[in-house]
Amino acid sequence: LWVNHIHAISYLEISVLLQRPSEWSEYFPDCAGTSQSPVDVVTTQTKYDPSLIPLTPLGYSQHGNKPFTLYNNGHTAVIELPEWMGIGGLPWLFTAVQMHLHWGSGGPSHGGSEHTINGLSADAELHVVHYNSELYPNMSAAMTQRDGLAVLGILITGEETNPAFNNILNYLSHQKVSIPAFDIQSLLPKDLGRYYRYNGSLTTPPCHQSVIWTVFHERIQISKAQLLKMETILYSSKADDPDRMLLQDNYRATQPLNHRIIFASFSQSERLTEREGGLCWGMVFVCELIREKDFRKLNTDSIREKDRSEQGRQSGRQRQRRKNLCKVLIVVSD
């Protein structure tokens, strides 16, 4: 999460400082706080909270005709959002300010996202930043307050082409540019009801611990080509710099959770991974095959009449054992 509120140091100094997270707290004490972001979401240690309702984007699709402003601040690409956009489903109304991206370099670490799930990174991460407009007059006032900001974290995987992302990627090579307004909701996951929630911080200086984080369970897809473009088209130094550096690996490492609890809007029974879900459904399918085999066996005419009674008793015991096994497997699959 980037918020452009670093003053009194130059563009070059910002770029250098952001590459040295271990030095952040020397200039910005909050960066050494106990409620920092990002974090690793260990799904088995999250707590289900049934009061967490689906989030509601407000005005995300009513973008109007006025262009958006996209700029490279030396750490990420930022898209400023109009003030009529916001988010519902939180204790207060939060007004949109901007969105930006974090990504890697396509290297062996294969990282790029800031948040991780069970220790695993995604290829990139989109952040949509909002401030609490019910309690505070603007972003600057809100960002120092514990309940001041709300950020949506959307994990991105490089697998399938996402036309909506071309609204951003087609203009990334510019230092600052006006881009056609577009439907911001097209960048969000379809499932806005399953997410993780915790209290954290900005992920870059000044690292204020003022963010209500929502990290969605569902990832969005972009293609490998789109991901490569994101990773190789921006520079962390200005155009007139003779030693220009590619802007890559602009994500912060996960921070200790400390005393915090990560809440989940969905229950443990809903948290089967695709692999687990496939395994359970496979078990049910095997049970159905067993039942079908038993049915065919009962209707086989090749069993001799004199052995039918004894074999029937044996088959009955075998079928009962199989039924008991299937009951266990089906309970697991549910």
Could you report the per-residue pLDDT of 102-115, keeping only the tens digit for each? 999 986 567 899 99
- The reported pLDDT for the residue numbered 7 is 41
More confident residue, 124 or 284: 124
Q: What is the mean pLDDT of the segment spanning 319-331?
A: 42
Asked if the peptide bond before residue 205 counts as cis, ω within 30 degrees of 0, the response is no
Query: Which DSSP state fits 247?
Result: -
Average pLDDT, the chain: 82
Q: What is the mean pLDDT of the segment spanning 156-166?
A: 96
- CATH code that applies to domain 11-266: 3.10.200.10
- How much is the pTM? 0.78
* pLDDT(155) > 70: yes
Distance between CA atoms of residues 76 and 101, nearest Å: 6
Of 6-20, 38-52, 294-308, which gets the smallest average pLDDT? Answer: 294-308
- The reported pLDDT for the residue numbered 290 is 40
- The reported pLDDT for the residue numbered 220 is 98
Question: Domain boundaries in the chain?
Answer: 11-266, 274-333
Question: Would you call 155 helix, strand, or coil by DSSP?
Answer: strand
Could you report the per-residue pLDDT of 215-226, keeping only the tens digit for each? 999 999 999 999
Q: What is the mean pLDDT of the segment spanning 47-55?
A: 97
Of 148-152, 198-202, 290-294, 319-323, which gets the smallest average pLDDT? Answer: 290-294
Burial of 225 (0-12, 13-18, 19+ CB in 10 A): exposed
- The reported pLDDT for the residue numbered 269 is 76
DSSP states along 70-96: EEE-SSSEEEE--TT-EEESSSS-EEE
- The reported pLDDT for the residue numbered 271 is 63
* pLDDT(18) > 90: no
The token pair that represents 150 in the structure block: 């709300």
**Location of structure tokens 């309970």:** 331
- The reported pLDDT for the residue numbered 303 is 38
Q: What is the mean pLDDT of the segment spanning 277-285?
A: 41
Of 5, 63, 75, 115, catalytic: 75
For residue 245, name the pLDDT band (cuts at 50, 70, 90). Answer: confident
* pLDDT(323) > 90: no
Q: Is 75 a catalytic residue?
A: yes
Could you report the per-residue pLDDT of 173-208, keeping only the tens digit for each? 999 999 999 999 999 999 999 999 999 999 999 999
- Backbone φ, ψ for residue 311 (5° rounding): -65, -35
Axis-axis angle for helices 274-298, 305-333 (nearest 10): 160
Could you report the per-residue pLDDT of 142-152, keeping only the tens digit for each? 999 999 999 99
